[in-house]
Amino acid sequence: MPPTTNRQLAVRLAVSRALGRTRDPDGVYGAALEALSECLNVSRASVLLFDPEGVMRFKAYRGLSREYRAAVEGHSPWTPDSVGAEPILVPDVTCEPSLRQYLPVFTRERIVALAFIPLVSLGRVIGKFMLYYDAPHAFDDEEIQLASVIAAAVAFAVERGRADEVARRSEAAPGFEPSAPPVGISRDVSALWAAEAFQAGQRQVLEMIATGAPLAQVLTLLVHVVEDQCEGIVCSVLLLDADDVHVRVGAAPSLPDEYSVRIDGQPVGPRAGSSGTVMQVGQPIIDTDIVCHCDSRWDVLREAAVATGLRACWSTPIPSTHKKVLGSFAMYCRTPRGPSREELRLIETAADLAGAAIDHHRSQLALRQSEERNRAILRAIPDWMFVMSSDGVFLDYHVKNPEALLMPPEAFLGKSMHEVLPTWLADAHQRAFERALATNEPERLEYSLEEHHERRFYEACIVRADGDRLLSIVRDISDRKHAELDAAAQRQELAHLNRVLILAEQSGALAHELSQPLAAILTNAQAARRLLDQSPLDLDELRGALDDVIKNDKRAGTVIHRLRELLKKSTTVLQPVDLNEVTREVLDLTHSDLLLRRMPITTALSPEIPPVLGDRVQLQQVILNLILNACDAMSTVAPAERELTLTTVADDGFVQIAVADRGVGIPEGQLDSVFDPFVTHRAHGLGLGLTISRSIVLAHRGRIQAENNADRGATFRCFLPVVNGQASAALASSHD
Amino acid sequence: MSELRAELGVYPYVPAVDTEGETALSEMTNPDPLNLVVVDDDEEVRTALRRLLRAMGHTVRVFASAEEYEATPVAADCLIVDLRLPGLNGFELLERLRLRGSSTPIVFITGDGGPSPNDTTAHAGTPSLAKPFDEHDLIAAITRALSAAQESAP
């Protein structure tokens, strides 16, 4: 993954910079330990080097006792001549037979896990890094790679320190010919000077990588740096395309154009020269003589190679930190021969550097692509984004269509929202900001504004960004809101239609409800007139008659009032409602109809129920519908067996009202569809009663369900949420 | 009181629609105060009817249901019965009385626009009144019920 590569590169640069600041060997070891503990979060570590006798000696350490150092000094899994040394990981020392003799020492020192990281310079092991853990440790690839990166840099610095020493000596004593190689160095001075030049070149390559120079430039510089090291050598870097199939020329500045043209775009494999083949096999290939080589892999390139005077080709795969092959590094030689050990090491180092450059380039590319993708997403989404400070100042914005904003960006950027937004809106935002900052959870805010004589609806999602800054993502939800409002209007139309139909059906009962008080009024009035003619006047009886006239007039008035409420097309009015009271009002209206239809009704209204937030008329309508439905279900049942029971009860944040009948019940499989429109078993009516009841209950954020009773008939239950702060706020806002 | 007796005695067959105004009423004399029973589940209607009929000089007993009346049968000259009652309704009460051989005259009153006062119902010409009804219509209906009972008597 890109972050890993970036981190490795960062560590590599940091270490080489740290090491570059010091030429003093102790400083190098100290910086190395520093880098180790910082990058790998290891508290105990050490650096050891082979002394001239080939014995491992502590050069620097952290958190190790003298006893421990004395006990383990000299131990090494490698000899000074070991080639291709790899890190050795010991997740648990008690499970490692080869370390058994050191177990008591480890135990005393509380060391449970270990890692040996070889310090390799120019292919040779010159020492090791040790990492120590006081608990079993599962090593991951990344930490080992990082340790190896640091080890490589330290090995480099050690060699450079020694070369400095040699150079100083030769300057101090002109003509000095070292009779024996200096400590730990088996090479002559010119080789060291070459190594020094190579280091400089290498540093330059690393710097180019770090500054983000184009990959082709970096690779070209690398090729030049390597070519400068060896007389008569030409190099190339080939890349494996992102499709993992085709070869691309990364850099081949000293090869003829024809060569590049021929190889570019070749599929990886046997015909793409040795450097194309190594990508497939993942192993170095040494072709000592291209001309004589019978292998078909030179068929395409032989002519071009020979025309340039190249006879041998030595290629090695360029590994990525993810162990994938990125390409190949090749050296061409004008004489048919194999590479020297020096040249081989050079190839490997160059391949490593090329790998770092390609990895870095690809991760940067991936990063840029993901940034571009992010920008594309930002462009594509319809939301508006504002970056705000916690006290409500607009810091930045991202808006696809700034002309749709309430005001141009320059009118709000840098200003407080209290200056540019209506006070109520700014206050609401401020409260949401405080909640978002306190809880770290996204806060939602819905509001509407009148714009150009049109009401627009918005939803803001406010999240804490970095630190105390907030991101407000605003979406225009007008279309959805208008659709919701249309649906609500439609629901109200239907609900009204349902009420009219109910009343039409109930006209007999309603007439009865009115004629009773009217009869009482007329009869009392006529009785009063007769009482006036009597002597002596029975004043008590007369007053009683008049009182009853008044009382029954009011009774008739109440009936008319309720009728009017049911019949008018009112908008929803939400208020705390006592469901028992609503139930009694409905029963008052239906009382005589139920009598006529021989529907004995029992009520069990719990006196303990809390108020629910609702529209009184709509809730009446629900209960009416359920009662009428129950009556219809029982119309074919013998009157003696009929029973209609209305129950109210508080039920965990809800008030439940249940209407139970002893009718025919709901056919199997229709328990859900009974609320669907036009599903009716009634001879009359539209079959909308239950549908509308459900929509009313849902609009009250409640639920309604039907079930068959165990013995007979069905029960319909409505659950309506109890009034509390939250519910009333939610309902109030939905009603804005 | 004498007016009502006069009304019932002198004008037993006068249809309610034909009343000649309120002055006629005060001139009426009725020598026979009647024992009347009112069965209506509506307390207000019940109370009002008792008040009016008493003011006319009759003796009135009221019951809230047919069952209540049957549990305490009282001798009555005429029953004024609401058709729509909890339990037994007005028609059923009439049937039961007739089955038991009682020929007590009955006037039905109804609250939901039932048969008009001059209609004869399926129940052998039992007079019916739709609430709200005028006192003249009530008197006329009672008078008709009484005379119908006399005619059908053996």
Output the pLDDT for position A733.
43
Q: What is the CB neighbour count within 10 angstroms for residue A202?
A: 20
Contact list in B for residue A509 (CB cut-off 8 A) is 112
Do A128 and A248 lie in one domain? The reply is: no
- B114 within domain boundaries: yes
Q: Is residue A43 part of a domain?
A: yes
Instruction: Say what the pLDDT of residue B10 is.
Output: 34
- Binned at pLDDT 50, 70 and 90, residue B19 comes out as very low
Nearest Cα residue to A480 out of A694, A677, A734, A692: A734
Q: Of A75-79, A114-118, A449-453, which range is least confident?
A: A449-453
Q: What is the pLDDT of residues A373-389, one digit of tens each?
A: 777 766 666 678 888 88
Of A451, A476, A501, which residue sits at a domain end? A476
Residue A305: inside a domain? yes
Structure-model confidence comparison of residues B34 and A682, the more confident one: B34
Judged against a pLDDT cut of 50, whether residue A704 lies above it is answered with yes
Does a structural domain hold residue A182?
Answer: no
User: At residue A371, what are phi and psi to the nearest 5 degrees?
Assistant: -65, -40
* Residue A686 pLDDT > 60: no
A318 and A438 housed in the same domain: no
Given an 8 Å threshold on Cβ–Cβ distance, is B55 in contact with A511? no
Give the structural domain span for A252: 189-367
Q: Are residues A151 and A276 in the same domain?
A: no
Q: Are residues A327 and A357 in the same domain?
A: yes
Contact A515 B131 (CB under 8 A): yes
Are the beta carbons of A267 and A273 closer than 8 angstroms?
no
Residues A310 and A451 in one domain: no
A12 is a domain residue: yes
Same domain (yes/no): A563, A683: yes
Phi and psi at residue A400, in whole multiples of 5°?
Answer: -70, -40
B61-75 mean pLDDT: 91
Q: Are residues A201 and A259 in the same domain?
A: yes
Average predicted confidence (pLDDT) for chain B? 76
More confident residue, A39 or A415: A415
Which of A500-509, A513-522, A533-542 has the lowest average pLDDT? A500-509
Report residue B26's pLDDT band, with 50, 70 and 90 as the boundaries: very low
Q: Does residue B14 form part of some domain? A: no
A179 domain residue, yes or no: no
**Cβ within 8 Å, pair B42-A520:** yes
* Shortest Cα distance, chain A CAs vs residue B14, angstroms: 20
| Structure letter (DSSP) for residue A640 | G
- Same domain, yes or no: A200 and A278: yes
- Which of B23, B26, B46, B52 to mutate: most A Cβ within 10 Å? B52
What mean pLDDT, rounded, does chain A reach?
Answer: 79
Distance CA A187, CA A126 (A): 14
Same domain flag for A117 and A237 = no
Kindly report, residue by residue over A637-665, the tens digit of the pLDDT.
888 889 999 999 998 889 999 999 998 88
Mean pLDDT along residues A577-589: 88
User: Strand B35-39 to strand B78-82: parallel, antiparallel, or no bridges (unpaired)?
Assistant: parallel
CATH number for the domain harbouring residue B122: 3.40.50.2300
Q: What is the 3-state secondary structure (H, E, C) of A482-515?
A: HHHHHHHHHHHHHHHHHHHHHHHHCHHHHHHHHH
Chain B interface residues (partner A, CB cutoff 8 A): 26, 41-42, 44-45, 47-49, 51-52, 54-56, 84-86, 109, 111-113, 130-135
Over residues B36-62, mean pLDDT: 94
User: What are the chain A neighbours of B42 within 8 Å (beta carbons)?
Assistant: 516, 520
CATH number at residue A394: 3.30.450.20
How do strand A654-660 and strand A714-721 relate by DSSP bridges? antiparallel
Which of A476, A509, A536 is a domain's end point?
A476
Q: How many domains does chain A have?
A: 4
Q: Is the pLDDT of residue A172 over 60?
A: no
Residues A554 and A460 in one domain: no
Chains A & B: contacts with CB separation below 8 Å: 88
- Residue A180 falls within a domain, yes or no? no
Domains of chain B: total: 1
Q: Which residues contact A196 (CB under 8 A, 6 or more apart)?
A: A160, A163
Looking only at the bridges linking them, the beta strands covering A124-133 and A113-121 are antiparallel
Of the listed ranges A58-72, A251-265, A512-526, the least confidently predicted one is A251-265
Which helix (H) or strand (E) covers residue B90, if one does? Answer: helix B90-99
Residues on chain B touching A512 (C-beta within 8 angstroms): 84, 111-112
Sheet of A124-133: strand order equals A56-62, A44-50, A124-133, A113-121, A88-90
Q: Is the pLDDT of residue B27 over 60?
A: no
pLDDT at A546 over 70: yes
pLDDT-based confidence at residue B142 (cuts at 50, 70, 90): very high
Please give the Cα distance from A205 to A219 (Å, whole number): 8
Q: Indicate if A215 and A130 belong to the same structural domain.
A: no
Whether A361 has a pLDDT exceeding 80, the answer reads yes
pLDDT bucket at B69, cuts 50 / 70 / 90: very high
Domain match, A298 and A395 both = no
Within-domain flag for B5: no
Tell me which of A102, A137, A172 is where a domain ends.
A172
ipTM exceeding 0.90, yes/no: no
- Domain of residue A523, CATH code: 3.30.565.10
| A177 domain residue, yes or no | no
The three-state secondary structure class of A528 is helix
pLDDT at A14: 63
CA distance A528 to chain B (A): 8
Q: Do A523 and B132 touch (CB under 8 A)?
A: yes
In a domain, B4, yes or no: no
Chain B CB contacts of A518 below 8 Å: 131-132
- pLDDT of res. A169: 56
User: A184-209 pLDDT, tens per residue?
Assistant: 333 344 455 566 677 777 777 887 77
Which chain A positions have a beta carbon within 8 Å of B47's beta carbon?
520, 548
Tell me if A544 and B51 make a contact (CB, 8 A cut-off). Answer: yes
A373 in a structural domain: no
Distance from CA of B138 to the nearest CA of A (A): 10
pLDDT band, residue B71 (cuts 50/70/90): very high
Q: Which residue of A has its CA nearest to B43?
A: A520
Q: Which of A526-530, A688-692, B7-11, B60-64 has the lowest mean pLDDT?
A: B7-11
Is residue A80 within 8 A of residue A125, CB to CB? The reply is: yes
Q: Helix crossing, B43-55 with A539-567: angle to 10°?
A: 150
Residue B68 inside a domain? The answer is yes
Tell whether pTM > 0.80: no
Any idea what DSSP says for residue A447? E
Q: Which domain holds residue B70?
A: 34-152
In a domain, B13, yes or no: no
- List the CATH number of the domain containing A73: 3.30.450.40
pLDDT at A594: 80
Q: Confidence band (pLDDT; 50, 70, 90) for B106?
A: very high
